[in-house]
Structure 1
């Protein structure tokens, strides 16, 4: 008589890194040929635990070295706790717990939250990574999601129709130190929407369908300029992490050689201790060169591979791409092509980053930034400021958005000449840049108009540094007008509403005599005149 395991098969679906285009992991999906075992597993924690163990064993039979994603119902974790059998199966398969992500699957209704959190903590203590699955289409409470503090959040693709919600989830993930993945991506439009909303990972039929054999290649649509604009501090290293080829620190040179020659995609091997901490780094070309020399194989094959390795280069999971480049720049030139190990807060290796991926992404970012710079002042345009405004709104931060221009600028050009006018604009732009400290952003939106985004506490010093300067053009005195709207959380929904609140303040500032500054608050009537005097004959410039 056939058992239910005889009719059970497993399929693998790639989890794709949208930045590098590489496969970041494989989700193992149960595919029963008869009966509804998954529905039974939802009601039976013991059965669900057995499915997780069988999934790991199925992956081991396929000899895949990629990180694995294993689905487990939330109710199973709350009932069984740390899944000792899964931990044993991972070890027996020759894998390390931190190479396995537990996808916690809904429903969460009627699941004891405290028991679930204790199980998650136990799994994390064993080294497993945690993913919150089915967010957006499931019933995971937001408070529980925060308390779980997952390493990865998986959103349903249906949420892409609500980009504000996806951006908000990206902001939450950044706060939790998690990556954001979109599941069920089927079209290039959905992929572009996921990128623009800030998702770093994705999976779905577009990239590769679930298959009995792990996919070696996936399709990733080419990125359009401006996709997933990065904050000024540089993209996070999380977005470039590739799976690492790991072997125990005691591995022989022969074992390393077998791993390298078995896959052309492996550029190096990291030797890790029992806790998953990198201790040596073996570079593909240098290692194979040593092994292929005269007597190389005879000399080294049975010796510890660590003798042919180097001290690993490491960065924390919270590092930026620029910080990785700083690490690469230190040391000898022959190691510039080495993979850099990415480690978590326990020092365990969670993957590697390649220099080529970083250079490509950073150069694309610089080209896009350069294309958006004003040719006169070399300052970014309004898009840079408005996207940062939206980011601060999503983060729930108070900010001050200011508009500044030169009074009667047409008369300045007519009287002093356009060259003097251009020089004045350049000087004002340089003064704003020099005054911009911390989180302040300055943009030139054309002509004599500038936008400034700053924290409210920095406003007075910034305004004084620019408004107190004795501005002239062609020997003639010139005055400036500054209008500021302070936006507290909840007062505006996006940059368009913030700009609408700023418009009447700009008109008020232009109605004042001399250098002026008007400050208002979004959603509240009236404004405060901090510079300038009211005269009925004042004309807008």
Structure 2
């Protein structure tokens, strides 16, 4: 505790913050005891005296603010705060347990606890504004009315920690979400990145307690009802106000358990689901629940909630980013996303297959039939890839447009050969429609030399990786170029295959 400053928004406080947040950010832990309790306050003082990362504190009536920093070799600031909060909960639970033993009765401490983080401000934002926002976030993200003692039968020690845990995992979210969205370049984003803390109540909490939350916190739009940390229902502010506004609303509901009036069928999703999937589930709900928040769980426990607004904003960002990097002719992901996808697949160290698709004699086709028809032929190949992967591929398949008449597809190794056979068959059946009824018996190569060939053909380069042999992202297009050269030396639509594995390495040819 030596050297810990005191005060709020004074020059020394801001200077102390600026000295520390370049080491990886700072955090604030907010504590408020709803009811005065000397033993709990002593536990709080004991906790702060032992916290080595604490560098500033301030008490405003029953509100406590504790500023935490990280040292250069520490874990990320969010982890530092998580561990600090675990120690705080441990102190408070110990106080409650000792009090119950001494008095031989159940004892209860009700407390709000929340946290937030802050990093050096971007250009144009003042340090004071960043710190102020951090303090407000900690207050807003505090778990409302966490009970240590009597309600442990509903929440239990693990439940209380899980309530704190969902606040922790979600709080630093505004910055993290934006980084995650821009880092994914339009690819799938997990709904867990949108999770933010949401007020929680045990099933036996009274309706009056939830109403008090809504009356004292204008930003609280609803409350989640939990049973041992597991969400079982939700009560939105608008719904409660409608029920209480009736002639007999107050006497009928005021002192009843909140589980009697909650929505017991909220939309609950696992944090690993994609935002796109969750948005579809949310929009498929009944109109009366359309704008209820979506509850997010981790291992079945409450992890936070996402508003419909945040989900739709995320979808807009993803689609905008996807459009920015997509090929304008086909709308398929371009080279930037292709590289990210290949890197992701290699990083997972699971077997996969890469198919490069390329049109033979495309220059001849453009010269004879015009660039407009050439663009149509490129679109046809893109749609063919998309359709065949939908029919024969896996759920995690990827299609990208490298440029011109070059495409790439990533799929499961077990599906790749059958997919290539189907692509060649479908292409050869469909290409004749692009000649406008003209019977083609010869074409010209890039040098203008005549070649006996019945029009445009399809060359496929198929690479199968076993997931074990070291593989660099840049090696894939290099191998594909070698296979492409081999394929183009052969007549007709053809697939040339290469196995990248520790067992053997070699090429195979497969023509429909």
Secondary structure of 2:364's match?
helix
1:160-179 paired onto structure 2 within 5 Å = none
- Tell me which of 411, 423, 432 is aligned to 1:454: 411
Q: CA deviation at 1:415?
A: 2.6
Rounded to whole Å, the distance in 1 between the matches of 2:256 and 2:468 is 64
Q: Is 1:528 the equivalent of 2:512?
A: no
* Native 8 Å contact 1:279 1:311 kept in 2: yes
Which stretch shifts more, 347-356 or 520-529?
520-529
Secondary structure of 1:451's match?
strand
Q: Which residue of 2 aligns with 1:334?
A: 288
Q: Which residue of 1 aligns with 2:476?
A: 498
* Native 8 Å contact 2:114 2:139 kept in 1: no
- Tell me which of 458, 465, 486 is aligned to 1:508: 486
Deviations 1:71-128 (A, max 9, x none): 649xx99xxxx996454458954359xx899xxxxxxxxxxxxxxxxxxxxxxxxxxx
1:319-398 paired onto structure 2 within 5 Å = 319-329=273-283, 331-345=285-299, 347-398=300-351
* Native 8 Å contact 2:114 2:138 kept in 1: no
* Native 8 Å contact 1:389 1:494 kept in 2: no
Q: Which residue of 2 aligns with 1:302?
A: 255
Q: Is the alpha carbon distance of 1:326 and 1:69 closer, same or farther for their aligned partners in structure 2, counting shifts above 3 Å? A: farther
Q: Which residue of 1 aligns with 2:450?
A: none
**TM-score using structure 2 length:** 0.62
* Native 8 Å contact 1:512 1:532 kept in 2: no
Q: Which residue of 2 aligns with 1:62?
A: 63
Deviations 1:11-68 (A, max 9, x none): 9xxxxxxxxxxxxx965499xxxxxxxxxxxxxxxx889747x99998994279xx99
Secondary structure of 2:219's match?
coil
1:394-473 paired onto structure 2 within 5 Å = 394-436=347-389, 437-438=393-394, 439-468=396-425, 469-470=427-428, 471-472=431-432, 473=434
1:79-228 paired onto structure 2 within 5 Å = 85=91, 87-88=93-94, 93-94=109-110, 185-186=119-120, 208=131, 223=178, 227-228=182-183
Rounded to whole Å, the distance in 2 between the matches of 1:515 and 1:367 is 37
* Native 8 Å contact 1:483 1:506 kept in 2: yes
Q: Is the alpha carbon distance of 1:222 and 1:354 closer, same or farther for their aligned partners in structure 2, counting shifts above 3 Å? A: closer
Q: Is the alpha carbon distance of 1:364 and 1:49 closer, same or farther for their aligned partners in structure 2, counting shifts above 3 Å? A: closer
Secondary structure of 1:512's match?
coil
Rounded to whole Å, the distance in 1 between the matches of 2:458 and 2:60 is 67
Deviations 1:261-292 (A, max 9, x none): 2112211012333x133344211122124334
Which stretch shifts more, 354-363 or 285-294?
285-294
Secondary structure of 2:182's match?
coil
Secondary structure of 2:218's match?
coil
Q: CA deviation at 1:364?
A: 2.2
Q: Which residue of 1 aligns with 2:459?
A: 481
- Tell me which of 184, 193, 197 is aligned to 1:229: 184
Q: CA deviation at 1:344?
A: 3.6
Which stretch shifts more, 439-448 or 324-333?
324-333
Structure 1 outlier segments of 4+, above 6 Å: 4-11, 47-50, 54-60, 209-214, 523-526
Q: Is 1:238 the equivalent of 2:212?
A: no
* Native 8 Å contact 2:292 2:307 kept in 1: yes
Q: Is the alpha carbon distance of 1:497 and 1:95 closer, same or farther for their aligned partners in structure 2, counting shifts above 3 Å? A: farther
Rounded to whole Å, the distance in 2 between the matches of 1:300 and 1:69 is 42
* Native 8 Å contact 1:60 1:93 kept in 2: no
Q: Which residue of 1 aligns with 2:496?
A: 518
Q: Which residue of 2 aligns with 1:43?
A: none
* Native 8 Å contact 1:28 1:68 kept in 2: no
Question: What value does the CA root-mean-square deviation take over the aligned residues?
Answer: 4.9
Structure 1: runs of 5+ lacking an equivalent: 12-24, 31-46, 102-180, 190-203, 534-541
* Native 8 Å contact 1:488 1:522 kept in 2: yes
Q: Which residue of 2 aligns with 1:126?
A: none
Rounded to whole Å, the distance in 2 between the matches of 1:220 and 1:72 is 21
Secondary structure of 1:272's match?
strand
Secondary structure of 1:265's match?
coil
* Native 8 Å contact 1:253 1:303 kept in 2: yes
Secondary structure of 1:514's match?
coil
Structure 2: runs of 5+ lacking an equivalent: 9-25, 32-45, 66-77, 98-107, 141-171, 441-454
Which stretch shifts more, 521-530 or 263-272?
521-530
Q: Is the alpha carbon distance of 1:410 and 1:318 closer, same or farther for their aligned partners in structure 2, counting shifts above 3 Å? A: closer
Q: CA deviation at 1:445?
A: 2.2
Q: Which residue of 2 aligns with 1:139?
A: none
* Native 8 Å contact 1:498 1:522 kept in 2: no
Higher helix residue share: 2
Q: Is the alpha carbon distance of 1:323 and 1:266 closer, same or farther for their aligned partners in structure 2, counting shifts above 3 Å? A: same
Q: Is the alpha carbon distance of 1:457 and 1:243 closer, same or farther for their aligned partners in structure 2, counting shifts above 3 Å? A: same
Q: Which residue of 2 aligns with 1:37?
A: none
Rounded to whole Å, the distance in 2 between the matches of 1:207 and 1:500 is 48
Q: Could you say which structure has the larger radius of gyration?
A: 2
Secondary structure of 1:453's match?
strand
Secondary structure of 1:422's match?
helix
Rounded to whole Å, the distance in 2 between the matches of 1:434 and 1:503 is 25
